[in-house]
């Protein structure tokens, strides 16, 4: 890892996020977290799975912010399982530290929804984790991938997509 310079500008995500549209954190949904004891190992370092839980929480809250309640999706028989995940751990986070999980919907292709993530320090000077997650819309009753997104969900996703462009 390279050393950080104190007056360095915001750090761009790297590796797990390798497309050119990730060169800054504009238009990202922000979800603040603080490391709790149950999220760490015995040395007080965040356990790798905790980052995944934070990313899911951020994604659910991002969807809520545009009017999509996950419970409503479940009620209409739609689930959004993770089908692909790429994570790069840049720097560890310690017990008690605060961080910000930044997420944005990167792309919707049919029923595939791609999300980008960056977990950074509250001042955005330290980059801890970058990730990409792909979800698919699944018909819960049939256990099969849907042919298309439910109309209300698709319309709400169009709002967030417009914000990211």
Active site residues: 41
Query: And the tokens for 67?
Result: 């009017």
SS3 47: coil
Query: And the tokens for 83?
Result: 């089908």
Closest CA to 44 of 94, 1, 3: 94
Chain centroid to CA 109: 17
Burial letters for 38-47: b for 16+ Cβ neighbours within 10 Å, e otherwise?
ebbeeeeebe
Q: What angle do CA 11, 13, 14 make, to 5 degrees?
A: 115
């Amino acid at each position: 890892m390279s050393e950080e310079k104190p007056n360095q500008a915001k750090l761009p995500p790297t590796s797990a996020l390798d497309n050119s549209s990730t060169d800054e954190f504009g238009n990202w949904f922000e979800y603040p977290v603080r490391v709790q004891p149950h999220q760490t190992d015995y040395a007080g370092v965040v356990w790798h799975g905790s980052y995944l839980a934070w990313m899911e929480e951020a994604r659910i809250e991002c969807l809520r912010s545009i009017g999509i309640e996950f419970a409503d999706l479940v009620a209409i028989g739609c689930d959004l399982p993770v089908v692909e995940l790429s994570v790069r751990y840049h720097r560890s986070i310690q017990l008690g530290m605060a961080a910000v999980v930044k997420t944005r919907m990167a792309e919707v292709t049919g029923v595939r929804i791609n999300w980008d993530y960056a977990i950074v320090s509250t001042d955005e000077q330290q980059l801890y984790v970058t990730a990409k997650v792909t979800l698919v819309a699944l018909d819960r009753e049939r256990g099969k991938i849907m042919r298309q997104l439910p109309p209300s969900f698709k319309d709400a996703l169009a709002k967030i997509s417009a914000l990211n462009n």
